[in-house]
Chains A and B, each alone.
Chain A
Amino acid sequence: MSFLKEKEFAIILFVMPLLFLLFNYYTGISDPAAKELVGWGSILWNFSMLIGTYTMFKYLGTNLVQRKKDSEYSIILFISFFAYLACMYAYPSGYDYILTNLQTPLQMGLLVGTFTNYTMLFRGARTRNWLGVLLLVSAILYALSMIPIATRTWVGFSMMGTWINVVPNAGVMRAITIGMGVGLVATLLRELTGKETHYLGG
């Protein structure tokens, strides 16, 4: 029983499905079991979402009870959550109303990224060295290749922007992708040897 409490037992539970799925991938043996195991992953993901939701509600509820700053807005969260959930199951036209007339403008209105982008461009797009200038020149040329008025003004903008995207950018992205792929495999080896146990919560 004490072994069940050890970290090593959880590592065994991690390694066994991992090796089994890799074995199935390279040999094709035991396909039905592998498919079922992949399905288990999605299902356990769902359970973790339930836990996350419960934990978040517990945290917000505790803040509300302790009357922390801005905790009163959580009431709106709770009411909207339960009302929407109830409508989804019991009142379809209410659900459609909320989706079309509340959630849609909220989703669109919360896209304030464009405005903060402009603030960032105005305040933060300063170059301190020639590499920064290179970044900005590349950005401007690429942006101009996407804008119809620029490409109509001079066809070179389109050619230069496309070339930057397809040649130097592609080379770098290949390198980054290769690095990520090799990193994934290296992380796999570390996890197989038990050196990485982040999934156990530290």
Chain B
Amino acid sequence: MEFLVGFFTLYFAAIILMCWSVLIKSNPFSKAMSNLSLGLMLAWWLKGCIDSLIKDVLVPASQGNVARLTVLILGLLMFLRFSKGLAFTSKWPLAVLAGVGTAIATKGAIPSMVLAQLTVGSFVGPNIVDNINNIIIWSGCVSTLVYFIFSIERGPVLGPISRVGQVFMMISFGTVFGSLLTGDNVMASLAFMFGDPGRYVAAIGAAIFVAYVVIDIRKKVAPVQKATV
């Protein structure tokens, strides 16, 4: 039984290596793995959707729930998009879905995305560092908003303010970019590569990789001299 556990880790590492082989060149292994992954994820999605439809639509509808019966009919109308004569009916459920989604997104937008963001700390509090920080936050916010106003010409007032906004945005996007520099996302996969017995697969993979690189280098390095007389 322990041997079986080791075996699973062996091809666990092999699957990871096959996925990573795309970094060198697209090859049959990486294509097979990406299609396999897609097939498994699609199966997951479909199961989730089917289960949800059964418990939330079919069961209540079969018990006489009129609302769920109505939404079942609406949902089935979506499939009429494949019919030439009745394709227009498939837009109705999409319109309902879009209306519900828009309402849900918009109703929460004003309190959380607008009003809550307009609160600003004190500029004249007891702690001078906090005051300065609040002024900087406020300046960054206003100048960034000014930067995104494109309907008014940038004159002697708006121009410098939007320039300040650019400076703030560069600093801000630096924090987003900085998350790429920490570099700890691949560790979990590597833990299997360096564990036992994944390291044997990793060693074979490394040998194949080094051989490929050496052959690749030899092909790319041009002949030493070509003389034309």
A109 to B93 CA separation, bound complex (whole angstroms):
38
Residues of chain B with a CB closer than 8 A to A172's CB? 140-141, 144, 168-169, 171-172
Starting from the known contacts A10-B91, A172-B141, 19 additional A-B residue pairs (CB-CB under 8 Å) come to A21-B107, A22-B103, A40-B74, A41-B104, A44-B74, A44-B93, A80-B43, A102-B36, A103-B40, A114-B183, A139-B175, A164-B171, A165-B175, A169-B172, A172-B171, A178-B114, A181-B112, A182-B114, A201-B94
Question: Shortest Cβ distance from A26 into chain B, in angstroms?
Answer: 8
Is the C-beta of A49 less than 8 angstroms from some C-beta in chain B?
yes
Query: In the complex, which residues 90-132 of chain A have their Cβ closer than 8 Å to any Cβ of chain B?
Result: 98, 100-118, 120-121, 131-132
Looking at the complex, which one of B16, B78, B170 makes contact with A138 (CB distance below 8 Å)?
A: B170
A108 to B23 CA separation, bound complex (whole angstroms):
15
Of B26-34, B152-160, B212-220, the one with at least 4 CB within 8 A of chain A: B26-34
Is the C-beta of A137 less than 8 angstroms from some C-beta in chain B?
yes
CB–CB A175/B175 < 8 A: no
Is the C-beta of B128 less than 8 angstroms from some C-beta in chain A?
no
Residues of chain A with a CB closer than 8 A to B36's CB? 76-77, 80, 102, 106
A interface residues (Cβ-Cβ under 8 A, vs B): 4-5, 9-11, 13-22, 25, 36-51, 53, 56, 70, 73-74, 76-82, 84-85, 88-89, 98, 100-118, 120-121, 131-132, 134-143, 146-147, 161, 163-182, 184-185, 187-188, 191, 199-201
Q: Mark B46-73, 1 if CB is under 8 A from A, else 0.
A: 1101001100110000000001100100
CB–CB A188/B106 < 8 A: yes
Question: Shortest Cβ distance from B70 into chain A, in angstroms?
Answer: 8
CB–CB B43/A85 < 8 A: yes
A107 to B99 CA separation, bound complex (whole angstroms):
34
Looking at the complex, which one of B46, B56, B94, B114 makes contact with A199 (CB distance below 8 Å)?
A: B94
Q: Dominant SS at the A interface? A: helix
CB–CB A17/B96 < 8 A: yes
- Chain A residue, CB-CB nearest to B57: A43
Residues of chain B with a CB closer than 8 A to A118's CB? 183
Residues of chain A with a CB closer than 8 A to B15's CB? 102, 105-106, 109
CB–CB B113/A178 < 8 A: yes
Is the C-beta of B88 less than 8 angstroms from some C-beta in chain A?
yes
CB–CB B33/A106 < 8 A: yes
A47 to B189 CA separation, bound complex (whole angstroms):
35
Question: Shortest Cβ distance from B117 into chain A, in angstroms?
Answer: 5
Task: Write 13 A-B pairs (CB below 8 A) sorted by A numbering.
Answer: A13-B95, A48-B97, A74-B35, A109-B15, A109-B189, A112-B23, A120-B180, A135-B173, A138-B173, A142-B178, A161-B178, A164-B174, A174-B140
Is the C-beta of B194 less than 8 angstroms from some C-beta in chain A?
no
A29 to B180 CA separation, bound complex (whole angstroms):
48
